[in-house]
Amino acid sequence: MEKILIIDDNPVDVRILKDILKDRYEVISSLESAEGIHKARLNRPEVVLLDSTMPKISGKEVLFVLKNIKDLKGIPVILTSAQVDPDTEEKWLSLGAVDYFIKPFSPGIIKTRVGTHVDLSLLKKAIERLELIDSLTLLPNRRSYDEKIKSEWARAIREKNPISIGFIDIDNFTSYNDHYGRSKGDDVLRLIASEMSHTMSRKTDFIARYSPEKIVVILPNTAAKGAKIVYERIKSAVQNLKIPHAYSDAADIVSVSIGGATIEPNYGNDMCAFVESADKMLFEAKAYGRDMIVSDED
């Protein structure tokens, strides 16, 4: 059930809005601005209904905060007020509000217009998710990886934990496509991506399609020894598929080469250099004959 957050210091108005919306939505409310912002961060509602005349922290200030928090700025905010004029309406809309309700509330208007903004919010989220997914493998795509590595790198520094990254390359995959056909190659990619995903044992582990033939895994809070175990699990999963590949110089079945790196970063380390070190390990694995793992644990 979609969530609606009401931020209004008037308990009567809150109760009226809840009664109007409760049959269709999970309605959360706050009588204080600061608490309302906290509940927005905690619950990630589809729509926020915000009273324009909140005490202490004004409605305008609440709207400004919501629109300047990365994870919240996309949430539609509807202002509520006892009175409105064209200049006031224009001001609120220019600040980022998507709509404006005048008190006393009309149940039909509230239901219809809130429903419209919820539907638009859900559609926007669906489009954003698609933009972060590789259409062939259904893994997160390169854009998603770029965002993830930055956030996990920052978290590793903040929490003083190790982070590991591994690049996986399908051996002689160009030859596979050339001899078996690109359609068959796409089937192999989908199958391998699915098997690799199943080897990720923790919710914090991240796997993405980095390039046409390369997959990347990010393993937060994972030392080199633990990362090596994950790489071996991935390699075995691909081997166990036993997909014939008569045109590979590494094996008679589809195999992978893996390069991995681990670091416990601090503010003096360079993230790009860390990623490049994993890519260098992959290059070495391919140079040594493919179908192998080269990592910090070796």
| DSSP code at position 140 | B
The encoded tokens of residue 206 equal 């991240």
φ, ψ for residue 224, nearest 5 deg: -60, -40
How many residues in total does the chain contain?
A: 298
- What are the C-alpha distances in Å from 161 to residues 155, 178, 242, 251? 8, 43, 37, 37
- What are the C-alpha distances in Å from 240 to residues 233, 244, 254? 10, 11, 10
What is the Cα Rg of the chain in Å?
A: 26
* Annotation marks residue 159 as catalytic: no
Catalytic, out of 26, 89, 213, 232: 213
Q: Give the whole-angstrom CA distance, residue 161 versus residue 218.
A: 13
Peptide bond into 220 cis (omega under 30): no
Q: Give the whole-angstrom CA distance, residue 164 versus residue 152.
A: 10
The set of residues, in sequence order, having a beta carbon less than 8 Å from that of 54 and lying 6+ positions away, is 7, 8, 9, 32, 33, 62
φ, ψ for residue 240, nearest 5 deg: -70, -15
- C-alpha 172, offset from chain centre: 31
The encoded tokens of residue 241 equal 């598929």
| Backbone angle region of 254, left / alpha / beta, with phi > 0 → left and psi within -120 to 50 → alpha | beta
Q: Is 135 helix (H, G, I), strand (E, B) or coil?
A: coil
Active-site positions? 213
